[in-house]
Chains A and B, each alone.
Chain A
Amino acid sequence: MPDKILETTLEVLKEDAEGILAAWIEQADEDGAKRIDLFSEKEERDQAASLLRSFRLGVRDASKEGEFDLQDESWADLRGILAEITHERVERGVLPGEMAALILALKTPLFERVTEKLEKDPERLIEEVLLVSKAIDAFAIYSNEVFIAEREQVIERQRDEMMELSTPVVELWDKVLTLPLIGTLDSLRAQEVMESLLQAIVERQAEVVIVDITGVKTVDTQVAQHLLRTAAAVRLMGARCIISGISPKIAQTMVELGVDVGEVRTRSSLRSALMDALTSVGVAIRPIDDDKRSGK
């Protein structure tokens, strides 16, 4: 038995780094993992080269007998580079499958060379190949994990941005606020909407708030529940809530679902809700004389 595992692999990596690199890129190309539309030949090569270099360092330092653990200290360098490259690839729109294929493509050139070396010792050959295979598989999985984490971060960020954009409370007139809702209303957003609305009521001393749902695509029992709870909280604060923009279709759905709006006022259009709100704060919109109109 050799005193060190992966000894032959290390030897091969030292002796023919250039050859392996070239064969690897070629293999990746064959497997369809190369994206010449996203990366230039040189970038592709540089990335592969740095991966291979840290792979060699990892193989050199890995001392655990027969075990392979990517979280091990000796693979820290490789983990870093893998994360970096994956990050760059996500940004350019590489698919996770392609990233995995690129890493897995390293097997072929590596195994070819190890096989040549260990032709006379099939037992060691199998052991070595098994280990290297295990290691490379682990890298592929790791890179996939990084990939998913990156994607999730992007989604998280976009959701935060959407959340901020989607709860604008607008002052229509003294004591009259409106909150135009757009898109879907899930629990998280409903909470956000309620918070900013109640806060705005305190800040502007509003007496009437109009929640306009013209831009809400669908109203199911859950959305209706959120709306009614918002209305209830508004009432508890001492203001009145009008829900406007209920389309005929949504009205029918709500009845079919058995949603009872109770005492909450509903209006079909923002226009009629506004009239209603203004009336209750003692303001009216009136036409004015022709000669007073500006811009004419």
Chain B
Amino acid sequence: MNAAAIYAVEGVLLVSITSDITDTDIIDLQEALSKRIADTECRGVVVDISALEIVDTFVGRVLAQLTSVARLLDAETYVVGMRPAVAMTLVELGMYLPENHTALTLSHALDKMRQSGLVDGLRRG
């Protein structure tokens, strides 16, 4: 089973990361996601990490990388559902993820994207 599935929801790509994700899974995910963004020409990505209980610098870096890759493909990334313990750990590690947008939940992220016009103007051209 794939540890991280990509779904198209309301014109954005939703990536749900499970708690048992491995480092190789994350790299696969990065590749699959960048392909999907290019294929669908979507402009919003939501990474749901509410199942993630443990983070290390690697996960933090990959989250930042996902965002940078998505941005190069003209899509903004929202990280949603971060647990308090995860947030504290990332701050502790000095990873403030400045490139990422953040939101409490998926619906908050969708709201914010609608406000900034990312969802409505989803498919270019």
Contacts and interface: CB of A to CB of B under 8 A. Distances in A.
A194 B88 contact: yes
Given A233-B91, A236-B91, A201 B84 contact: yes
B104 A207 contact: yes
B102 A235 contact: yes
Nearest to B112: A238
A238 B88 contact: no
B80 interface: yes
Nearest to B63: A236
Interface of B: 79-84, 86-88, 90-91, 96-97, 102-105, 108-109
Contacts of A155: none
Contact of A238 (B90, B91, B103): B103
A233 B104 contact: no
Interface of A: 194-195, 198-199, 201-202, 205-207, 229, 232-239
Contact of B84 (A195, A205, A235): A195
A198 B102 CA distance: 14
Contacts of B90: 233, 236
A201 B104 contact: yes
A216 to B, nearest CB: 20
Given A198-B88, A199-B84, A238-B80, A232 B104 contact: no
Contacts of A199: 84
B104 A236 contact: no
A237 B108 contact: no
Contacts of B103: 238
A232 B91 contact: yes
Nearest to A200: B84
B52 to A, nearest CB: 12
Q: B79, B80, B104, B108 — which one has the most chain A CB atoms within 10 A of its CB?
A: B104
Contacts of B97: 236
Contacts of B108: 207, 238
A199 B83 CA distance: 9
A237 B81 CA distance: 7
12 contacts: A195-B84, A198-B87, A198-B88, A202-B83, A202-B84, A202-B104, A207-B104, A229-B91, A233-B84, A237-B102, A238-B105, A239-B104
A229 B109 CA distance: 23
A236 B90 CA distance: 9
B80 A198 contact: no
Contacts of B79: 236, 238
Contacts of A205: 104-105
B104 A237 contact: yes
B84 A232 contact: no
Nearest to B101: A238
Instruction: Give 4 nearest A-B pairs by CB, closest first.
Output: A198-B84, A238-B103, A238-B102, A238-B104
A191 to B, nearest CB: 8
A237 B87 CA distance: 6
A237 B96 CA distance: 11
Nearest to B90: A236
B88 A195 contact: yes
A205 B111 CA distance: 14
A177 to B, nearest CB: 12
Contacts of A232: 91, 96
B91 A237 contact: no
Nearest to B96: A232
A255 to B, nearest CB: 22
B72 to A, nearest CB: 22
A252 B105 CA distance: 38
A195 B96 CA distance: 17
Most buried by A among B82, B86, B91, B103: B91
Q: Which of A201, A235, A238 has the most CB of B within 10 A?
A: A238
B88 A233 contact: yes
Contacts of A234: 87
A194 B85 CA distance: 10
